[in-house]
Amino acid sequence: MRSLLMTILLFPLLVSAQESYTVSGNIIEKGSGEDLIGATIVLQPGMQGTVSNHYGFYSISAPEGTYTISFSFLGYETIEKRIVLERDIHLDAELEEKSIRLNEVTVSAVRSDRNISNPGMSIERLDMKDVDLIPVLMGEKDILKTLQLLPGISTPSEGSTGFNVRGGSSDQNLILLDEASVYSASHLAGFFSVFNSDIIKDITVYKGGIPSTYGGRASSVVDISMNNGNLKNFEGKGGIGLLSTRLSLEGPVIRDKMSYIISARRSYADIILKALPGDIIEDGTRLFFYDLNAKLNFRAGEKNRFFLSGYAGRDVFGFEQFGMDWGNYTTTFRWNHLFSDKIFSNTSLIYSDFSYGFNLDRDLKYDSGIKDYGLKNNTTYFINPANTLRAGFELHYRDFNPGALKSEGNSEINIILDKKQAIETGIYINNKQEISESLNANYGIRLSAFRQTGDADTTRSYIIPEPRVSVNYRINSKSSVKLSYNRLSQYLHLLSNSTTGQVTDIWIPSSSRIKPIIADQFATGYFRNFLDDNIETSVEIYYKNLNNITDFEDGTNIILNENVEDHILSGRGRSYGGEFYIKKKQGRFRGWISYTISRTENLIEGINDFRWYPARYDKIHDISLVCSFDLSRRTSLSSVFVYATGNAVTFPEGKYRVNGMTIPYFTERNAYRMPPYHRLDLSIRIRGKERKKFNTSWDISAYNVYNRHNAYSIYFRESENNPAVTEAVKLSLFGIVPSVTFNISFK
């Protein structure tokens, strides 16, 4: 192990021992000063290239000489500059957004072929412009629902924002908002996500080949960045939809140096229903959710930048004396520091909190939740164009509240489960290396360590080395083959009786009884681009093995159960499949087709006679078809079609009578299938005339256009007319749901 580390550490240093200079700087959007993440920088001659990082920073080194440097970003005008490299240069670039021009064949200037030149595989970046046009339920733009349209990512149930990545359960997704973990990413029983897409800049999802900079969850990483705020001018945008209304404002505090963005969203079903005649809901009823995001961004010279970002969101629900509410709070403080032109470092202090509570009357209250205090550092050393070394650490202290029922009036009622605390650390090193012109690799290792603190007899320490490798072999300028392996560990477990994820679910740390989940994933893929990289296609296959996944003994009560760990069953999971993807990125007609064929199975002692059985979210076929088409400069049409095999479910294979009732008798776990799910959504966006001070648009959409009654659940009951007759009932949630949203942006 040690010699491997030494090799990884020293190898790039050896090859960098030649005379060279560095050009570095920030790439920002011209109008707003917003960082551009993942912009391409290329030096000619030599075709040395790099991409800007999460903060828009880039650094590239080359031998002394005269070069043409080009900066490009999808949807933006490319900038080319001649530079004489005889010393280190600081060079910022401001890219301007292309105006919408129809009938234009866009040929991007340089290297929009990252999907075949980069070793990263099973990684998807969502373009916010795609998200913006995709039709969704009730007109609420939703990044998590857009993710579900990508290959390898499936939805556990209709309308849900939970998602399964390559056979992982929804609690195995690490969802980061400005680096802070969001423990429950949904509103209204899972139908809407907590992310207000107006203020989101970038979303990257890692399904596999996860670099060692990330850790903590077994199946995927969804890294979401909030906008920094306009550094140049004040601007705002907002919208009014059927479900919610939203407004964001941003602008400079000190022009080009400091900016803010603040955004709010609130649903208003309660207000409308109260205003309507006929007393649909009672006066004391509370039913709403809200999200608040805010961020400050400060450039203190060329070497230092500071960011402070926060999120608060809650669902509130109640009537009379009964009430419940839940939500997340997150805060991130970040400091970017340039140690040199080649060494970029970011240090973050992070707090995140998820809590759930209800009260039965004024006196009796229940709450549960998790608090997470984190410290992270990531340092990137841009050694030379062939090697980019990253190293860093991550430290989390988590405070778990597994549940407490309290009464102020009568303390005898109190049931307070012991709080648990745990420390999780990760240190990592990673190098991205161009080994030869056609071969490049991203390899590293993460060492994660965990301990549940306190003196309970269930505490135990774990140390798990997590190797991560992905290799890209470029066959020619249009195609490449990639290979990746990663190991991930997860020391957090979500206790859940349901499969869709509920706010009542409880997070607990690993212990001597509950071992950390360990996922090993192998993936390989073939990538080919057509029409000057305008069409990307890929085929990937993967195999994932999950150790120490958990389930419960039948009928285990999760809430306020001190001994819940005694009823946890553990076992193995496996998932394998193929993913096919065709994407057209630019032009009047854009979109993608994704098809996933996969199997996901579990083997757990105590369930299904210890035989392999399909996981509930084992979807054999999953197809998504997403298109958008610019009819004219002001009108765009878009559509989504999805088809998926029904979830695996347990149906009765008999019945019996007890206590005067008919009870279903179950045999095999998940041996049946729900009917196949399919749905078509359509949406049209009509933009108003462009004005100096403000722009408006209307989104008119219909969810489930052909009104298919997709099964949300199938349940079995005695017939109401004749108790001797038993029947199967299909419940479908959404028929056709039309919606309209009005959007406005102003300066």
Of 83-102, which residues contact other proteins (CB under 8 A)? none
Is 564 a binder of other proteins (CB under 8 A)?
no
Stretch that binds other proteins, among 109-117, 473-481, 564-572, 645-653 (CB under 8 A): 645-653
Q: Taking CB under 8 A as the rule, which mask of x and - marks residues 454-493 in contact with other proteins? A: ----------------------------------------
Q: Tell me the three state secondary structure of residue 127.
A: coil
How many amino acids of this chain bind other proteins (CB under 8 A)?
A: 72
Residue nearer to other proteins on the CB measure, 366 or 542: 366
273 phi, psi to nearest 5 deg:
-65, -35
Beta bridge partners of 193: 186
Regarding 736 and contact with other proteins (CB under 8 A), the answer is: yes
Decide: 498 and 148 in contact? Cβ < 8 Å: no
Interacting residue with other proteins among 589, 610, 656, 698 (CB under 8 A)? 656
The pair of three-digit structure tokens given for residue 711, joined into one six-digit string: 């099964």
Closest CA to 294 of 337, 330, 266: 330
Q: Which stretch binds other proteins (CB under 8 A): 50-58, 595-603, 656-664, 692-700?
A: 656-664
- Each residue 668-687 as x (binds other proteins by CB under 8 A) or -, in order, gives -x--x---------------
Q: Tell me the backbone φ, ψ of residue 142, rounded to 5 degrees.
A: -145, 115
Rounded to the nearest whole angstrom, what is the least distance from the CB of residue 745 to other proteins in the complex? Answer: 28
In whole angstroms, how close is the CB of 726 to other proteins at the nearest point? Answer: 6
**Under rule CB under 8 A, which residues in 374-413 are in contact with other proteins?**
405, 410, 412-413
Does residue 244 bind other proteins (CB under 8 A)?
no
Is the distance from CB of 125 to CB of 180 less than 8 angstroms? no
DSSP bridge partners of 703:
737
List binders of other proteins among 149-168 (CB under 8 A): 157
Q: List the interface residues with other proteins, window 609-628 (CB under 8 A).
A: 616
What is the DSSP secondary-structure string of 313-370? EEEEEEETTEEEEEEEEEEEEEEEEESSSSEEEEEEEEEEEEEEEEESSSSEEEEEEE
> Residue 276: is it exposed, middle or buried by C-beta count within 10 angstroms (0-12/13-18/19+)?
exposed
Q: Does 732 bind other proteins (CB under 8 A)?
A: yes
Nearer to other proteins, 436 or 722 (CB): 722
By CB under 8 A, residue 419 contacts other proteins: no
Candidate list 666, 691, 698, 740; residue touching other proteins; CB under 8 A = 666
22-81: contacts with other proteins (CB under 8 A): none
User: Rule CB under 8 A: is residue 316 a binding residue for other proteins?
Assistant: no
If we measure between CA atoms, which residue out of 171, 174, 164 comes closest to residue 222? 174
* CB contact at 8 A, 579 and 151: yes
Helix/strand/coil for 541? strand
Q: Tell me if 659 contacts other proteins by CB under 8 A.
A: yes
734 forms part of the interface with other proteins (CB under 8 A)? yes
The whole-angstrom separation of Cα 691 and Cα 693 is 6
Q: Name residue 400's beta-bridge partners.
A: 370, 420
Beta-bridge mates of residue 371: 353, 399
At closest approach, how far in Å is the CB of 737 from other proteins?
6
Task: For residues 312 and 300, give the distance between their C-alpha atoms in angstroms, rounded to a whole number.
Answer: 27
CB of 516 to other proteins, least distance (A): 24
Residue 617: name the closest of 637, 585, 646, 656 by CA.
Answer: 646
Minimum Å distance from CB 407 to other proteins?
Answer: 9
Least distance CB 656 / other proteins (angstroms): 4
Which residues are paired to 327 by β-bridges?
Answer: 314, 355
User: Which one among 653, 690, 706, 740 touches other proteins, defined by CB under 8 A?
Assistant: 653
Q: Which residues inside 482-541 make contact with other proteins, applying CB under 8 A?
A: 497-500, 502, 504
> With contact defined as beta carbons under 8 Å apart, do 198 and 248 qualify?
yes
Under rule CB under 8 A, which residues in 324-353 are in contact with other proteins? 324
Query: Contact with other proteins (CB under 8 A): which of 15, 83, 349, 415?
Result: 415
Does residue 720 belong to the site contacting other proteins (CB under 8 A)? no
- Judged by CB under 8 A, does residue 271 bind other proteins? no
Neighbours of 491 (CB within 10 A): 26
Task: Name which position in 597, 733, 742, 746 contacts other proteins (CB under 8 A).
Answer: 733
CB of 354 to other proteins, least distance (A): 17
For 654, how many CA atoms within 13 A lie in the half-sphere containing its CB?
6
Of 444-452, 522-530, 568-576, 653-661: span binding other proteins (CB under 8 A): 653-661
Token pair listed for 596: 């996933």
| Cα–Cα dist 383/30, whole Å | 29
Q: What are the two backbone dihedrals, phi and then psi, of residue 700, each rounded to the nearest 5 degrees?
A: -115, 125
Closer Cβ to other proteins, 451 or 616, answer by number? 616
> Residue 535 or residue 559: which is nearer to other proteins going by CB?
559
Q: Which helix (H) or strand (E) holds 272?
A: helix 269-275
Site for other proteins in 277-306 (CB under 8 A): 278-281, 287
